[in-house]
Amino acid sequence: MAGCSSASSLPCICIASCLCSCTFSIRYHHIMEDNAPILEAMEEAESVIVPAAAMILDETAQTFTSTLCETFPPLTLPTPLQPLFSTPNTLISPLFVLAVIMMFLSLLFAQKFGRSPLQQLGQVGPRGRKYHSWNESTTGGCGGRFIDWWIFGGSVWIRAALCLWDGMAGTHSFDGDHHHQESSGENLFACFGVVGSKSEKNAAAGEDKKQSEGTTHDHLVHAGSSTGILGFDSSLGGFGPICLAPIRASVFLLAWCSVCSFLKITYNELVDFSTKLAVPATSGQFQQIPSTMYRDEIGNVVASILHFIQDVMNIGSNLVEKKSDALGDAWLPTIAYAIAFITVLECGMYLIGNVCMLLKIYLPMGVSHPGGARPHKIVRTPQWTEGKEHFLSRHLLTGDGNSDSDDTGKSGALSSKWRCAVAHDSHRDTIAKFNYIKTKGDDVSSSFMTGEPFGRQIWTLDEAQPSTDEEVSEDVMEKTLKRELVPNLKEKTKNEEKTEDNNIFGPLSPIGGLVQNIFSFDKDNESHKEKSKQDETTKLIETMASGGRKPMGFDPSKNPNSCDQIFRAQMISSYLEKNDGKFPEDIAYLQDEGEKGEANPAKTATEAAKRGIAFYSLLQSTDGHWAGDYGGPHFLLPGLVVSWYVMGCPSVMISPPQQALMLHYFKVHQQADGGWGTHIESPSTMFGTVICYLAARLLGAHKDEDWIKSGRDFIQKEGGAVMTSSWAKFWLCLVGCMDWKGHNSVPPEMWLLPNWFPFHPGRMWCHCRMVYLPMGYLYGSRFIYSQAETDPLIEELRNELYCEPYDSIEWDRTRHLVASMDNYSPIPTFMKFAQNCLSVYENWKIFRPFRDAIRKAGIDFCLEYMRAEDLQTNFIDIGPVNKALNMVSAFHSANNDINDPAVRSHMMRVPDYLWVAEDGMKMNGYNGSQCWDTSFAIQAVWECGLLDRFPVMSAKVWAFLERTQILSTECSQSTPAYQYESCDSRDKFYRHVSKGGWPFSTSAHGWPISDCTGEGLKGVLALMDSPVVMDGVKRGILKDIGPRRLYDAVNVILTLQNEDGGWATYENNRGFGWYEELNPSEVFGDIMIDYSYVECSMASLTALADFHEKFPDHRKNEVTFAIKRGAEFMKSIQRKDGSWYGSWACCFCYGCWFGIEGLIKSGESASSPAIQKCCQYLISKQRANGGWGEDFTSCYDKDYAANGMQNYGDDGSGVVNTAWALMALSAAKCNDVEAIRKGVRYLMSRQLDCGDWPQEGIAGVFNRACGITYTAYRNVFPIWALGRCVATYGDNIDKDPKILATKSQN
């Protein structure tokens, strides 16, 4: 019984301390500094109550354990095994305890010295480890292979089940004439470095250029061949843990005997020392020492040590000396039993791991299942002032002034001086703006534009800068492609260009040059006919760019989505000037004199697709990508504005013309009730309103302006800014408009938790953790705008934002306040309790010494992590929120020095996020969607069978995709980001392998995503079917994307597959479903971990399938098995009604397309129940006009929008949703041909004369509740759907079969 009671004492004391801390957590918040006597009295009472409570709980625990031990007496064990479990003096033998502890310590040691294996426990996919060799120290400072084996062997069972499930190890494949030894699981030999040493040594030395080109394959181990950290012997396969367990048990016993021998010697020395201190001891025995013998401190220390050693030595000394009274003749049987015990223990854990995995995979409702419809649906709708159309004034379009008073003036898109600069042009513009000249010895990581320029897009008022000799201009590349790939297209000579100076298509600048010609021509020398022609061309361009709306008009009551009129007008004019003023053949009718102004609808679906591609080709940028508006959320731009303001309002970051455009954006998106929504189609929320109001005031809007008054009335009507959500409160704290006590704690020391800790920030979804990382730094530093107390504007805002005097607010009581309109994801009760505990931690003086000591370390790590993120992304950062926060953090760490190199590098990347459209200047939800949109677009053209009909367009896409593959080009590998691709850096900063993946936006962004990698890979594979493109590659006109690079992409996809068989976004699922109980954000749902999604799973699965068709021998078993598992996952998350929930667009039509296509590509029969059920579901949602329609409420409510796209579509239907539905049905070869025909007719009827389609409701969504704009979707997906329907059902799919029969008879 003594063992039971002593074991319970420590936990009881811990429990008592926790309870007492909770008991007194409330009282502190109501005690101010001037109540010192009360505070002292309470602390004195606490010092009495805590020990008393501990004593009561200890006695209770002793009684409980005593009763438990009497009720369940110890089992009778075999005599030889008894010393292993118990001794005469203790309930449990120290040997048994240490055997269990050894298992646990092996995990801790692996965590300390290995490559962070424990952070994978919540995930399954390996993190892309590569280049194992003898030259690589796989255990940090330890470095030895034996230490690797010992440390990882102790915890090998954790990963063994995964290895077994992933198809065992030691598979082989052949690539041409070269043999590859591979492992789909964790390979212990790879840790030893006995596989692939030759090629890996070259790779370690940076000599893998030949490998990347596919020319060196001897004993090559692919990047994913040994991708994990914990391992098992591939020659033993799944039996590795079982075979290795006895060996570890034997080594453990030998080590324990050595420890016992050491303890005996130490004991004797201490006995001798105690004798000198007059401690009586009987010679030859371990004397029991009276507890009251010593009064001095040295005596107490000696006594404690002796007591400890005595407890441990009881069996240890007998094992060493083999005394007969303890073991008798059973020495060998005891050792055998010990080995058997540890072996059984490890095997049991191994089997439990397998069982848990099987249960997790085959349970019908996994953590990644999005669930059913929400019980509480959104009922509020946005309220707009009807019929109020906004136009950008000439001042705003030209940047000549910041006045927006001319709101009713109508200026055409071509009158804008704002231009979209891309690629090298954008880099030159930024460098010139910052007056930076690179000199020898400069630190390019912090002072210069790094990363691939392809894909970058910024808006500027400055004219294009001339290219340098060392750069290859994208315009030159475009001309070369035209000359080489289209022989009959002759380039103009310089003399020809000089003769056309006064012509509408004379020597114009790449973008916007036509504008100069139109508005700066010499009227005295221009004939009336030529001027009329120019006016007609201008009108035609602006009409084509308007998307079926009034040119440059913006009426949010009709549609709050922009249709990119300024950008599209400039791209169309740029195309005309480069092509002798002629449109592509398929839309040349637009310039025919006899057909101007007359409707000219396409006659067949194929013709409609050709027109769509021809129009979309006009919008392609010189570097090969398609740009577009990726705005929508209202909370992004205000964060940037706050950052700009607290950094001293540097004009190089946000210029006065930009401020004016931003104010226009806020003004036109304000709703009739005075508020702003969380996004452009959202009803007004306190989150959107407070933060937009704050930004408008900081940008210069006066408090007495009517629209500002209206916004202030909305805020105060809803209870003031204390009722907004936590993210808005954070920005208020930064600028000094809210006390930090009003915001819940974001402790930076959370990052110091060991990686094996169940809740670790490194396990969270990357977007979530990369936002709360700088939040932790700024909160821990208590950053406040340095002029907050003296700035009169901040004083005004403190009075405007609240319903009571600022100084009278009890901030701590406002931490959990939030308006119901913001409360999409209510803070769980447990999280509120945790936040209250953290409030105690932040405010109680008793924790201050510990907090001050540990916080500095946490802040330092956050700063180091943010620096790594900045360099890995070339200062773009993963998204706009952490971009702004990282920038403020860099500013603070530089002691508010705006000229610090890191701060300047941050400001140079701010334009990457800004976009100009007819509704003003906004902040995109990313630095664009370039790679995503372009990959989809080229697949659409491929499925239409028209790649070579548009050869220059296709070749430019190939060039773009080649330059966009992450860390795969010479330019990207010369950046600091490439240095962070090492195993140590990835594990330290929680990054998955990046090399070989494709991004959502640009290579410089640096974050690969599973579905973007899949779509990028499919785009490349599609272009391989183009003879023109492949001829360009063969002739050296285009750079090759060799097999090695495709293998890297496949490796990224394979390593991103989760244990449930699905794919998440950026990383494997590292966390657990209960993480959502700790979600601190009220406005977003399911943000804590990276779930598996149907979209990511389909994109990854189909990419593997397409790759396998062209490269059937590369990692054959892994690829086919991954496809099979992916299909099983997709079926597991299908709803009972047959649908799939789309998490990244609106919504069920989108999810159904991904679901059906993924299953079809995985080999599922079109007649399977899963596919047929989904087809029936889609058919049931088709509207009377033949189309399909949804809005963002489908995502918000997780239920199909009952009225379709009623607000911003066409009688409830939309072209994008219709295209998704048709793509799904035609992939399944749906036998309801009439439904397909009606859908095709609908798309054709909605096509505009120029080949464009109208911009309708918002298409994208993220985090369940926030919509985001994809202006490219209205072009890409109708083209794709028409091409697929024609390929499946024939070109007469749009025709009535009765009419066709009549024509056939005639």
Q: Tell me, what amino acid is at 383?
A: Q
Between CA 493 and CA 1086 the distance in angstroms is 59
Packed helices 706-717 and 686-698: angle between N→C axes, nearest 10 degrees: 140
3-state secondary structure of 1266: strand
Distance CA 971, CA 571 (A): 27
Helices and strands (H, E) in the chain, number of each type: 50, 10
Strands 419-422 and 457-460: antiparallel
Residues 110/154, Cβ–Cβ less than 8 Å? yes
Please name the residue ranges forming H helices in 1036-1093. Answer: 1043-1055
Name every residue whose Cβ is closer than 8 Å to that of residue 1103 and which is 6 or more positions away in sequence: 1013, 1014, 1015, 1017, 1018, 1021, 1049, 1050, 1053
Distances (CA, A) of 1217 to 676, 1201, 1221, 1247: 27, 12, 6, 15
Decide: 1178 and 1172 in contact? Cβ < 8 Å.
Answer: no
For residue 1044, is it left (φ>0), alpha (ψ between -120 and 50) or beta? alpha
Give the type of residue at 1288: T
Out of 148, 623, 987, 1011, pick the active-site residue. 1011
1011 is catalytic: yes
Report yes or no: 398 and 415 within 8 Å, Cβ to Cβ.
yes
- Within 166-239, residue ranges assigned H as helices are 188-192, 197-204, 209-212
* β partners of residue 1093: 1063
Which pairs count as long-range contacts for 1200-1204, CB under 8 Å and 24+ apart, including other chains?
Answer: 1200/1139, 1200/1147, 1200/1148, 1201/1147
Which structure tokens are listed for 540?
């035609």
Cβ atoms of 632 and 1258 closer than 8 Å:
yes
Token digits of residue 200: 């890996």
Q: Which residues contact 15 (CB under 8 A, 6 or more apart)?
A: 57
- The 3-state secondary structure of 388-416 reads CCECCCHHHHHCCCCCCCCCCCCCCHHHC
Cα(1278)–Cα(1281) distance, rounded to whole angstroms? 5
Instruction: Give the DSSP H or E segment for 1104.
Output: helix 1094-1110
Q: Which residues contact 653 (CB under 8 A, 6 or more apart)?
A: 644, 647, 907, 910
On whether the CB atoms of residues 417 and 399 are closer than 8 A, the answer is yes
> CB within 8 A of 1224, min separation 6: which ones?
1149, 1152, 1153, 1155, 1156, 1157, 1174, 1175, 1178
DSSP string, 837-888: HHHHHHH-GGGHHHHHHHHHHHHHHHHHHHHHHHHHTTT--SSHHHHHHHHH
The answer to whether 1087 and 1081 have CB atoms below 8 angstroms apart is yes
Cα pseudo-dihedral 640, 1264, 1000, 763, rounded to 10: 90
The 10 Å CB-count burial string (b at 16+, else e) for 1239-1259 is bbbbbbbbbbbbbbbbbbbbb
Question: Any bridge partners for residue 554, and if so which?
Answer: 390
108 vs 84, 840, 946, CA distance in Å?
Answer: 24, 30, 58
Residues serving a catalytic function are 1011
